[in-house]
Amino acid sequence: MLSDLNLWPMQIAQQILFILLSGFSIWFFTKNIKRIRRNIFLGRAEDLNDNSSTRWKNVVMLALGQKKMFKKPIVAILHLVVYAGFIIINVEILEIILDGITGKHRLFASALGPVYSYLINFFEILALLVLIACVIFLIRRNITKVPRLVTGQLSSGWPKKDGNLILIFEIILMGLFLKMNAADSVLQGRGVEHYVQTDPFLISQFLIPVFENFGDGMLVFLERSYWWLHIAGIFFFMNYLAYSKHLHVILAFPNAYYSPLDAPGKMKNMEAIQNEIKYMMQPELAPTGADATPPSRFGAKDVQDLSWKNLLDAYACTECGRCTAACPASQTGKKLSPRKIMMDTRDRLEAVGKNIDENGGEFVDDGKSLAKDFITVEELRACTTCNACVEECPVSISPLSIIDQVRRYLVMEESNSPQEWNLMFGNIENNMAPWKFSPDDRDAWIQDS
């Protein structure tokens, strides 16, 4: 009988191995989060701590409730199942971690009594729903090929693989969870030592016939293998997030909290530019001496010139493509893709961060910049600032803010703008209006009528 075997040395070895695996996974995750946080705060300071009650409401409605997703209800429900289901199911990680450290099995079963079975059954229902939703999403990406999910940068390479990999990975994790419970149920029924008696599990009970013909030793091996693969898979997923677009499962919350509270479409003026105009109109207000230092840069040439919120946006991007699908410039065949703007910003930020790591904490000029090298002039000029991309984003990202700042740099620092724009700029400077009329003649049309 299995109960007669001396499993003590094996159990101690498993506990030690689990503690080492847990410690390494948490250390590596913390290291990556610190790296990402460092990269985000390479951006300019920006104070977004006002109206905390409204901001917390955004967290609840946008990040937890996924309010914007429900413009397309069916997809929203599927996404909510995957997102909420995966998070809730992994509440059982707490029990798994404690089991792994203490060498116990289903540590909470005796403490929670009948409630424990209800919880596991609830988790199993969610696991099945997550599995089904992930299969549907794989079909949408690879068989029906929803255009916004397979075009542009998602048509090939890592972005495409990333989207498929995470779905396959979640299917595997949910399958391991259900098979682990099924094997566990058979061992409970046989009265094998270490396996705590619980009520039948709602979903995994249908898998029991698969395991009934195995001997006790093989069944324990299978159940332990599923247990180890499940927790190791969760640790892997946790650390994979730092290299994937799925980092948004974490960053959606701070991104929702710090989302702009201004009226939709409101553009931020640059105070330094406003001051230049003010000093031109009222020279006596112009600062002198040390206070007269001009701004280091107008607009944003590289990621360091953007605000930290812009860089948080780049990491929080889900690459769902709703912004690009709604963009009128993209719809009319122009090269602008708001999704690409965010992905390019993140790619450049990662390159800058790697540069800093390789050079002892200092950035060494690599001859590249966000403007031109990653985001082209053609893309920037195609934007009509209609705000459609911002309105569509489910996690309150603003590609428009980045476009405005990079375009401001090109115009003000490099005088890189179309001739039509230059004529308008000249008229505004000379006539204080976009038209080529003297301010004194502005009301002449009234007298001609």
Which of 321, 324, 346 is CA-nearest to residue 335? 324
Looking at residue 433, its pLDDT comes to: 80
The mean of the pLDDT values for the chain is 87
- Give, in order, the Cα–Cα distances in Å from 447 to each of 195, 200, 342, 427: 96, 90, 52, 23
Q: Answer yes or no: is pLDDT of 7 > 60.
A: no
Which whole number is the average pLDDT over 87-92?
Answer: 75
Which whole number is the average pLDDT over 130-136?
Answer: 93
Which of 379, 362, 359 is CA-nearest to residue 370? 379
Looking at residue 1, its pLDDT comes to: 42
Which whole number is the average pLDDT over 107-113?
Answer: 84
Half-sphere exposure of 420 (CA within 13 A, CB side): 1
Looking at residue 375, its pLDDT comes to: 94
Q: Answer yes or no: is pLDDT of 207 > 90.
A: yes
Which whole number is the average pLDDT over 22-29?
Answer: 94
Q: Does the CA dihedral 82-87-89-90 come out positive or negative? A: positive
Q: Does the CA dihedral 96-98-101-105 come out positive or negative? A: negative
pLDDT in tens, 298-331: 889 999 999 999 999 999 998 888 999 999 999 9
Q: Answer yes or no: is pLDDT of 134 > 80.
A: yes
Which whole number is the average pLDDT over 206-224?
Answer: 91
Looking at residue 368, its pLDDT comes to: 93
pTM: 0.85
Greater pLDDT, 438 or 241: 241
pLDDT band at residue 2 using 50, 70 and 90 as cut-offs: very low
pLDDT band at residue 289 using 50, 70 and 90 as cut-offs: low
Looking at residue 423, its pLDDT comes to: 87
Q: Answer yes or no: is pLDDT of 250 > 80.
A: yes
Least confident of 174-178, 197-201, 339-343, 362-366: 197-201
Looking at residue 71, its pLDDT comes to: 82
Looking at residue 5, its pLDDT comes to: 46
Q: What is the dihedral of CA 58, 63, 65, 71, to 10 degrees?
A: 90
pLDDT band at residue 274 using 50, 70 and 90 as cut-offs: confident
What is the Rg, in whole angstroms, of the alpha carbon atoms belonging to the chain? 28
Looking at residue 439, its pLDDT comes to: 75
pLDDT band at residue 4 using 50, 70 and 90 as cut-offs: very low
Q: What's at 261, amino acid-wise? A: L
Which whole number is the average pLDDT over 167-196?
Answer: 90
Which whole number is the average pLDDT over 37-45?
Answer: 94
